[in-house]
């Protein structure tokens, strides 16, 4: 994964080439995403800058990728997991590199409908493509929005795009996130959705069953696909269900090379796993237990509350949000990423997305029926690019580590989201995500497989959230919070912790447009409209921590003396 910066101006008299030094300086603000190499393409109507993190074809995959006839120029942030299949179909195209991203250029050159071939890409991506012959540009983003992408216009009407908001925020007064699953075509001047799925409508899923074998095989294929790498990689392992399943699957395939269909030994056969927490955190204990069972080379790191608080301004600068839950969880992830990169790892597999697909957040226990349960999972998936995807991508990429998310693989999504949500529902003695746990019986220790959901910011140690609140209480005066609506017109903060984060955000990202890129300023993990409708008590829950879900989360009162005790106390017998 990398970063892109693009500028386009199709006016006849335009000439972007004098902006090259400015564009390089703007792109340098996101060079942490691609510390391995910088590439530039500049002509009168198009300017593309690429900062590269070399993971696939590290020798020959430099960008922007210019076609052999110089007609198509491509800058991509992302990975295309089915690139070998696409290359095999387009054997007549004169590929210039071994990059997994170049099939995008080949598909465009084929002349087929852009929306149709975009939907064929299995991967995470945000790209800008320039057609030098037609003087046309295309911008697109992956279906879920795993890869960040922002765009806007400068005072002269030029279109700018960048992987991170910081690169163009001071140039574009109307900076905004580019919507996932969409593409923009300068030839029509329209933005359109290319990723449409029938499973967005509950009626299309009603009565459809997915058996355990099908679900298990689909996730295993997704993890295997995303192990594609020519550099050392690892897995994030919090000790929760989702990261532990991803790690367990990866461990089964780590000894053989994915890039040649497991016909040869892997270049780095030992799988390394990584966790972080405060001293004595439940996640560290659970992660070690899972790692011992899976057989990874495990690295459990600790951090102190002081180290986390010291990092807050930089965390907010990198993740580009003031959402409370996102910042709480991003901070330990940001600290972990630095340790991971120091060990020479450039890519990790992570467990994001499972809770959105299977209703893993604890308030899903309150869902009244399958239809509302399903509609909430769809809504959460559609907003994921502003929360967990943003956190995982930007906190890791702050140190040049790419996070891949197999649960959000498009093929796995089509399997898991087409099942009737009645099979996913929790409550009445049935633990959240029971169908996923049942599909992987025997893959993990029982205390991990049936461990109840923890918010990541809770699992790193319950003292973390409490310490953040205490720090904010000391830093923010009562009078400042009382007049927050006057200082922050867009999404005024409701707590001192939220006020503190918003103040840091404003330093880096002034203006209402930047503020509007954060929807509501709080997490979708709790107190959502659906949650409030299911249980009016959520309306008064100003704290989005998982512990706030009264009557569901059982771990907050469990002594942190080891995962075995915690697992027994929080396990709910599956139906």
- Cα angle at 125 between 122 and 126, to 5 degrees? 145
Contact status, residue 39 vs residue 49, Cβ threshold 8 Å: yes
Query: Taking Cα atoms as reference points, which of 222, 233, 251 lies closest to residue 58?
Result: 233
| Phi, psi (rounded to 5 degrees) for 249 | -70, -45
Task: Output Rg (C-alpha) for the chain, integer angstroms.
Answer: 23
Instruction: Give the strand pairing for 3-8 and 159-162.
Output: antiparallel
Q: Is 230 annotated as a binding-site member?
A: no
E strands in 344-468: 347-349, 402-404
Contact status, residue 518 vs residue 322, Cβ threshold 8 Å: yes
Burial classification of residue 411, based on how many CB atoms lie within 10 Å of its CB (0-12 exposed, 13-18 middle, 19 or more buried) = middle
Q: Is 276 annotated as a binding-site member?
A: yes
Q: Is 100 annotated as a binding-site member?
A: yes
Q: Is 185 annotated as a binding-site member?
A: no
Residues 239, 242, 248, 250, Cα dihedral to 10°: -120
- Measured distance CA(27)–CA(35) in Å, rounded: 12
Which DSSP string do the residues of 312-359 spell out, in sequence order?
HHHHHHHHT---HHHHHHHHHHHHHHHHHHHTT--EEE--TTHHHHHT
Query: Taking Cα atoms as reference points, which of 242, 203, 197, 213 lies closest to residue 420?
Result: 203
Q: Is 208 annotated as a binding-site member?
A: no
Say which residue the tokens 């049936």 belong to.
450
Contact status, residue 444 vs residue 232, Cβ threshold 8 Å: no
Structure tokens at 551: 């009557």
- Taking CA atoms, 537 is separated from 138, 427, 495, 560, in Å, by 46, 17, 18, 28
Q: Which helix (H) or strand (E) holds 391?
A: helix 388-397
CA atoms within 13 Å, Cβ hemisphere of 145: 22
- Measured distance CA(104)–CA(270) in Å, rounded: 32
446 DSSP β-pair partners: none
Contact status, residue 572 vs residue 241, Cβ threshold 8 Å: no
Residue 147 appears among annotated catalytic residues: no
Report, as residue numbers or ranges, the catalytic residues: 2
* Sequence ranges of the binding site for ATP: 236, 276, 350-351
Which residues are known binding-site members for L-glutamine? 100
């Amino acid at each position: 994964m990398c970063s892109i910066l693009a500028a386009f101006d199709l006016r006849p008299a335009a000439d972007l080439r004098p902006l090259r030094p400015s564009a390089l300086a703007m792109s340098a603000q996101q060079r942490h995403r691609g510390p391995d190499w910088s590439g530039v393409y500049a002509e009168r109507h198009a300017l593309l800058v690429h900062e590269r993190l070399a993971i696939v074809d590290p020798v020959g995959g430099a960008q922007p990728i210019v076609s052999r006839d110089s007609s198509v120029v491509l800058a991509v942030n992302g990975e295309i997991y089915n690139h070998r299949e696409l290359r095999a179909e387009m054997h007549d195209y004169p590929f210039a590199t071994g990059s997994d991203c170049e099939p995008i250029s080949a598909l465009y050159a084929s002349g087929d409908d852009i929306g149709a071939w975009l939907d064929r890409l299995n991967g995470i991506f945000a790209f800008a493509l320039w057609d030098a012959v037609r003087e046309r540009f295309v911008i697109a983003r992956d279906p879920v929005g795993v890869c960040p992408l922002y765009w806007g216009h400068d005072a002269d009407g030029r279109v700018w795009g960048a992987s991170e908001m910081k690169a163009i925020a001071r140039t574009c007064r109307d900076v905004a996130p580019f919507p996932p699953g969409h593409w923009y075509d300068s030839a029509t001047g329209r933005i359109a959705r290319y990723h449409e799925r029938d499973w967005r409508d509950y009626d299309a899923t009603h009565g459809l069953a997915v058996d355990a074998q099908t679900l298990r095989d689909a996730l295993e294929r997704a993890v295997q696909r995303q192990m594609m790498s020519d550099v050392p990689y690892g897995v994030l392992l919090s000790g929760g269900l989702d990261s532990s399943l991803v790690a367990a699957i990866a461990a089964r395939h780590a000894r053989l090379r994915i890039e040649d269909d497991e016909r040869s030994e892997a270049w780095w056969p030992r799988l390394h796993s990584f966790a972080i927490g405060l001293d004595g955190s439940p996640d560290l204990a659970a992660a070690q237990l899972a790692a011992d069972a899976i057989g990874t080379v495990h690295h459990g790191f600790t951090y102190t509350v002081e180290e986390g608080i010291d990092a807050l301004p930089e965390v907010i600068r990198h993740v580009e949000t003031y959402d409370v839950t996102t910042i709480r969880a991003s901070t330990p992830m940001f600290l972990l990423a630095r340790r991971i990169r120091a060990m020479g790892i450039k890519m990790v597999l992570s467990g994001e997305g499972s809770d959105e697909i299977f209703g893993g957040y604890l308030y899903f226990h309150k869902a009244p029926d399958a239809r509302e349960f399903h509609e909430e999972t769809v809504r959460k998936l559609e907003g994921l690019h502003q929360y967990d995807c943003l956190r995982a991508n930007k906190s890791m990429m702050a140190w040049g580590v790419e996070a891949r998310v197999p649960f959000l693989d498009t093929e796995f999504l089509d399997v898991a989201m087409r099942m009737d949500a009645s099979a996913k529902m929790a409550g009445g003695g049935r633990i959240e995500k029971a169908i996923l746990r049942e599909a992987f019986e025997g893959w993990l220790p029982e205390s991990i497989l049936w461990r109840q959901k923890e918010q990541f910011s809770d699992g790193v140690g319950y003292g973390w959230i409490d310490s953040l609140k205490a720090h904010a209480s000391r830093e923010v005066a009562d009078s400042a919070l009382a007049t927050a609506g006057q200082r922050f017109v867009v999404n005024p903060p409701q707590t001192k912790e939220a006020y503190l984060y918003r103040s840091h955000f404003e330093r880096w990202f002034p203006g209402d447009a930047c503020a509007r890129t954060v929807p509501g300023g709080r997490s979708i993990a709790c107190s959502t409209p659906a949650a409030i409708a299911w249980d009016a008590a959520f309306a008064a829950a100003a704290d989005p921590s998982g512990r706030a879900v009264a009557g569901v989360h059982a771990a907050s009162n469990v002594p942190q003396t080891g995962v075995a005790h915690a697992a027994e106390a929080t396990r709910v017998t599956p139906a």
